[in-house]
Structures are given as C-alpha cells and as structure tokens.
Amino acid sequence: MLKTSPLLVRQSITSKKSNKESGMTREKIVITGLGTVAPNGNNVKNYWDNIVAGVSGIGSISYFDTSNHRVSIAGELSDFQPETVLDPKEIRKLDPFSVYAIVATDEAIRMAGIDTESLNLDRIGVSIGTGVGGIQTMEDQQSALENRGPRRVSPQFVPKMIANIAGGHLSIRWGFRGPNQTITSACASATDAIGIAMRIIMAGDADIMITGGTEASVTPLTIAGFANMRALSTSCDEPEKASRPFDLNRDGFILGEGAGILVLETEKHAKNRGATILAELAGYGSTDDAFHITQPAEGGEGAKAAMKRAIQDACLEPGNIDYINAHGTSTPFNDRNESIAIESLFGEHAQKLKVSSTKSMTGHLLGAAGGIEAIVSVMAIQDQLIPPTINYETPDPDCKLDYVPNQAQEHNVNGVLSNTFGFGGHNAVICIRKYE
C-alpha cells in the first residue's frame, strides 16, 4: 500500500493556508439553477413570493388521523401536482421523498438550461441530503408485515425506502454518470450535501453537481416520535402562528416536508455554455459539537466554529456577511445558542446583521431544510431583500439580534450564511456571495 508522507500532508495543508493568506484565488463555484417544492410554494417563484410576503404553509395534518396524537399540525405540501413531471405509474413506484427530489430537480435543470444531449454526462454528478429517506414506505410495509404477513411485503419495499434511492433516481432519469452521494447528517444533511458537492467540483471530479435535500417525513411515526420527546410545538389551535423562532414564547418546531435543489458548476463551465449565473457558492464549514445526541452545546461553540470555517473558506471576514438565514427552529435551546454563537463570532458587527428564520413559514424540513434555505439565500441576493421571521411578537432577552420581524426588508445583500444544525451535534454552514 502506498503511504503518504506526513511531511507531504503538512506541506499540503500549509500550501492551502498560504494560498488564502497571499490572496490567491481558486476557481469560483457558481449556482445556475434552483428548484423547490415546499409547504408554501411548489416552485421557486411561488415559494419566494410567499416567503417575502410572510405566508405560512403550516396547517392541520391531512395525511392521517391525528386524534390520538399529541401534535396535529405540520407543513404539508399543498396543491402539489407531480403528474406534471412524472407519469402516475412512476409515482406509485416511488416514495414521496424521491418524488419531491425529482420534481424539484426538474425545475432546477430547466432553470440552469442543462442540455443532456450536448453535455458530458460522465462529468455531471449528484449529492443529495435526507434525514430519514423513505420513512412513509417503511411505515406502510411494517403495517403490511404485521397485519397481513411477510408474503404481503412489497418486493419494491427496499428500493423505495433506502435513503440513497432519491439520488439514484436523479442519475437514472437524466443519465448523470458522475459521482453520486447521499448525505445523512440529520438536519444538516442538505447543507452538507451542498458543501460536499462543491468539494467534488473543486477536486476536479465533476463539472456540474445536482445537489440539495429532500424529505417526506410527515408520517404518524415521525410525528409521534418527535412529539413524545417534546421537540414539537403543541400550539395546534393556530397552526400558522405555531412556529415562532427567537420569540420568547416559542415552544418547539413544526415538522415540514419538501425538497430544495441547486445546480452547481465551475464559473468557466457555466460561462462556456452560456448559463445565467445566479450567485457564487463561496464557502462551506462543518463541525460537530461532540456534546449531546439532541441538544446543542451550551454557547453554540460548534455552530460558531462552522460559521467561522465557512467564512474563512470563502476568503471573507465576518464583516462581509450581510444576512444569515438562521437554523432558527423555534426551540428554546437552538434559538438561544445560535444567537449567542452569532454574537460571539461577529462581535460588534452582529448588531448590523440581518438574521431571519424562514422556518417560521415552512416548518422544519429536517434533511431538506438546508436545500430550501439555500434557495432563500440566493433569492435574497438576487432581489436585495431580506425575508422576515414571522410570528415574532415578544423579544427573548437571550436573543438579542435583528430577526427582521414580520415584514421583509430591502437591504444590501452581498454575503449570506445559511445555517443548519442537527441531532448528533452536526453543524453545517454555507456561504453564498453575490456573483461579480
């Protein structure tokens, strides 16, 4: 086995650091396509328009009987029509999390102008994040096993359920033969997937990456599990007001579903094919708290480190960040610790930052959250507009930042962080810049 000299490893690391310190630049990774299905919009335009307008997609659960559940609200997709992209026979063979990924990817590919007839498909890859994969299929087939016996378990059970299958379907459908990765790091999954897609392109293993996250976890088992650990809001009488990040009276998150997909490529590749460049994906930072399986580390040190790494990876300073799309789950621990982490990292600049949580309108999409929130970050740059945190009524003394309460604000937006933090202590942050 060929071994790498420790000296060479140290030299490589030193070289990377000196490149940044000397002002040397690497080739830009740019964003050329976006696609989404979300509780408050089934395409990018509708989703963004509703985010800016402060329209919530949270309501009473319609997918199943909630009469025996502690929690009866979620961010379900509304008026979703996958038949515009997929044949109904195909839909029946897929778990919803794969359906969401395909529909969102179809929009992203069309926006990016990807022509599969003219591009080298060996150089197009996929990196998709999901927290739980095909859990609806899992629940359905467990019920079949218990009620009708093992012979009634579908032969399609495994290929519908496994977490990597959404990414597999994307490659099969469009013929993408490049690297295909599935990332599962809880609520950080989509952001990690985007960051890893960026690294794959930088390593020279692909020219284009289809990346983001997908989740379809509004199911009886998922709702019961989160509710019984007291993670979900029980403010079910007014669903649209239940998600209230950073508000003193927040009492838990609301489960949501959907997908957010981005098309990444090198600046040179995008220019050569005449693509419209929407923004630059400039940096990525990832850490782990190494503290607790569900609770964030006190003081948000892991979150702070991930934000710092993303900013450094982008060769920026904290003062270059104008807006943070916060993880902002509407849980007591997260919102306080995330606020403290931002204050600690940004110092005096923290009071100039705009910070908002669009989970106030979509709920928490778990492994897909980073996908739809990366899209918000791009659109904020495109329109020079900061989306609001709705339902913000009573300030929390422990949360001292400008959370853009209830109404969108026009603002100069050149640098954005998109934060995602997950169970297991996972922290993932991407830095998106205005393309220049």
> Catalytic amino acids?
187, 327, 364
- For the four alpha carbons of 321, 327, 331 and 337, in that order, the dihedral sign comes to negative
Tokens read off for 262: 């981005």
As a three-state string, the secondary structure of 331-344 is CHHHHHHHHHHHHH
**How far is the C-alpha of 207 from the C-alpha of 25, rounded, in Å?**
18
**How far is the C-alpha of 374 from the C-alpha of 264, rounded, in Å?**
12
Contact call for residues 214 and 96 (beta carbons, < 8 A): no
- How many other β-carbons are positioned within 10 Å of the β-carbon of residue 294? 12
Tokens read off for 218: 């509004």
Contact call for residues 412 and 322 (beta carbons, < 8 A): yes
Tokens read off for 310: 């993303």
DSSP string, 78-126: -S--GGGTS-HHHHHTS-HHHHHHHHHHHHHHHHHT--TTTS-GGGEEE
- Classify residue 3 as exposed, middle or buried by CB count within 10 Å of its CB (0-12, 13-18, 19+): exposed
**Helix 135-148 × helix 96-112 angle, to 10°:** 160
Tokens read off for 1: 């086995």
Q: If residue 430 lies in a helix (H) or strand (E), which one and from where to where? A: strand 426-433
Contact call for residues 139 and 147 (beta carbons, < 8 A): no
DSSP category for residue 363:
-
How open is the CA angle 204-274-24, to the nearest 5 degrees?
A: 45
Enumerate the β-bridge partners of residue 386.
409
Distances from the Cα of 63 to the Cα of 78, 108, 241, 285, 427, angstroms = 11, 27, 21, 37, 31
What is the Cα 103 distance to its own chain's centre? 16
Coil, helix or strand at residue 285: strand
**How far is the C-alpha of 410 from the C-alpha of 406, rounded, in Å?**
13
